[in-house]
Amino acid sequence: MKMDHLKDMLYDADRNKKFVTFVRYFDGNLWYETECGFLFPVPISDTSGATFSARDEAPLFMRWIRKFMLTV
């Protein structure tokens, strides 16, 4: 996927932040879904005791979205 597509997942046309929604926990990963339907994992081992909400601002997850985009 191209990087401009990443920006589309994070922000709408007016530069308002989009959201991600928690879907499930599986095998050490929190799986989230963007508003456009892109599923990506957040490894528990990579969270350092952070708090994760069921719904949160997508730009906060750019690190994990970008990382997973490179593998698919």
Cβ atoms of residues 32 and 24 within 8 Å: no
Instruction: Name the band, by pLDDT with cuts 50, 70 and 90, for residue 18.
Output: very high
pLDDT in tens, 30-42: 999 999 999 999 9
Beta strands in the chain (DSSP E): 19-26, 29-34, 39-43, 55-57
pLDDT averaged over the chain? Answer: 92
Q: How many Å apart are CA 62 and CA 3, to the nearest integer?
A: 11
Does pLDDT of 2 surpass 70?
no
Instruction: Name the band, by pLDDT with cuts 50, 70 and 90, for residue 48.
Output: confident
Does pLDDT of 4 surpass 80?
no
Domain ranges of the chain: 3-69
CB atoms within 10 A of CB 17: 12
Cα–Cα distances (Å) from 33 to 40, 54, 65, in that order, read 6, 10, 10
